[in-house]
Chains A and B, each alone.
Chain A
Amino acid sequence: MAEGRILLVEDQREWQVELKNLLQDYPYSIRVADSLQRASDLLKDHVFDLVLLDLRLNDWEEGNFGGWELMDRLKACREEQGTQVIINSAYGEPHHVREGFKKYHIADYIDKRRLDPRDFQESVADAIEKAYEERGETLDRRKS
C-alpha cells in the first residue's frame, strides 16, 4: 500500500527517470505528467499528497514558466486534500520562490542544478507527512 501519492509534473524524460529513481526505495506511488493538460486531468481524477512541479514545461520556449499556471489549481487541492507542492526548477526566478512560499505556501523549492539526493528525499518525505497532517491523519514514517 503506497503511503505517498505523488504527481511528478516534468516534461523531460531524463528528469522523470532521475527523480523516480531517487524515490524508488520509498513506499510511494508516482504518476508522471509531461504536460500541463495531462497534469490537470490527473488532478481532476486523483488525490495526491505531493506534486513535484517543474516550472518550465516546454523547455524549448525561452522564458516559459508554464508550470506556474497550475499554482492556483494546486492551492485549491491543498485546501481540499492537503496536497503539498515542491517546485523543482533549473531556472527559478527569485520572484517565483518568493511568491511560491508567501502566496502558495509551497513545501520546498529545489534547484535541479544542485540536486542533493538526500535533501530531496527528506524534503519529499516531510511534504508527504505534512499532507497527512493537514488532512488530520497520521503517517508512520518508514522506509521500505
Chain B
Amino acid sequence: MTNKPKILIVDDESEWREELVALLSSADYDIEVAQSFESAREKLRSTRYAVIIVDLELEVDEGPRTFEGFGLLSGIQFLQSFPVGQGKAIVLSAYGTPELVKQAFKRGVYDFLFKQEIDRDELVRIVQEAVDLWVARPIETPERQLSPEEGNQFDRLVHQFVQAKGVQSPRDLTPKEQLEFLDLIRRFMRGEAITFDVPEGAINPWSRETSPGEQAN
C-alpha cells in the first residue's frame, strides 16, 4: 500500500481526464479517475482522497445533461464531516455563473476554476495547497481503506445515527452527541458489529441533485 496522497479526477470528458493526469503527474500523487457520478460515488465511499477534482457537468445515460457534480460535492461535504473524512473538492468547470460558483462554495469546495481560462501552473499549485491541508489535518484516523461493503455499512450506520438523534447531518449533532458518534466510528473502524434500532428513513446524502435554478444547455 502506498502513502502517496490520493487524487480523484471526476470528469466525463476523456481529454480533460488525460490532461489533468498529465499535469499532476509531475508531483508525487497516486491519481485515480472517474467518468461518471456513479463511479465517483463508489470510489468516494471506499477510499479517502486528499483532493477530488470535480467537473460539475457530468454525462448521464439518458435525459438532459445536468450539473450532477453538485450531488458529488454534497456527498463529499457529508463525508468530510466524519472523523474518517474526505479531502477538499476543487471544481473545474466549463460553466461558471455567479450562482454556480456560490452553490459550490456553499458545499465547502476549496476552489472553483474555469476550464476556458485554465492556468495550468495555478491549478497545480492549488491542488498542492489542498493536498497540504489534507496532510496537515489535525484528526488522527485509522489508516485503512474500507471495502465497498464496509463503505455501505458505514453509510447506513451514519444515516441511522443522525436519524436516531433527529438531525440531518453529523454537523448538527451536539458536542456530546459528537463524542458518542466519534466513539461509534472508532468501534466501527475496529471492526465491531454495530446495530441500531431505528426506523428506516429518508435522508440520503447522495441524492443526485443538480444546482437549484440552473440547468445546463
Contacts and interface: CB of A to CB of B under 8 A. Distances in A.
Interface of A: 89, 92-94, 96-98, 101-102, 108-109, 111, 114
Contacts of B32: none
Interface in B89-141: 96-102, 105, 110-112, 114
Place the interface of chain B in its size category.
Answer: 10 to 19
Nearest to A91: B98
Contact of B101 (A98, A108, A114): A98
Nearest to B126: A102
A98 B111 contact: yes
Contacts of B114: 94
A69 B101 CA distance: 21
B98 A102 contact: no
20 contacts: A89-B98, A93-B98, A94-B97, A94-B98, A94-B100, A94-B114, A97-B105, A98-B101, A98-B105, A98-B111, A98-B112, A101-B102, A101-B105, A102-B105, A109-B98, A109-B101, A109-B102, A111-B98, A111-B99, A114-B213
A97 B98 contact: yes
Contacts of B98: 89, 92-94, 96-97, 109, 111
Nearest to B113: A98
A102 B99 contact: no
A108 B106 CA distance: 8
B102 A97 contact: yes
Contacts, number: 33
A98 B90 CA distance: 12
A101 B101 contact: yes
Contact of A94 (B96, B110, B111, B213): B96
A2 to B, nearest CB: 28
Interface in B54-103: 96-102
A129 B167 CA distance: 20
Contacts of A111: 98-99
B115 to A, nearest CB: 12
Contacts of A108: 102
A9 B101 CA distance: 23
Contacts of B99: 111
Interface in B17-56: none
A102 B104 CA distance: 11
B38 to A, nearest CB: 28
B84 to A, nearest CB: 26
Q: Which of B97, B101, B114 has the most CB of A within 10 A?
A: B101
| Among all A-B residue pairs, the 8 with the closest Cβ atoms | A101-B105, A94-B96, A92-B98, A97-B101, A97-B98, A109-B102, A94-B101, A98-B112
A84 to B, nearest CB: 15
A57 B114 CA distance: 27
Nearest to B95: A94
Contacts of B111: 98, 102
Contacts of B100: 94
A60 to B, nearest CB: 22
Contacts of B213: 114
Contacts of B105: 97-98, 101-102
Nearest to B213: A114
Nearest to A92: B98
A131 to B, nearest CB: 18
Interface string B192-212: 000000000000000000000
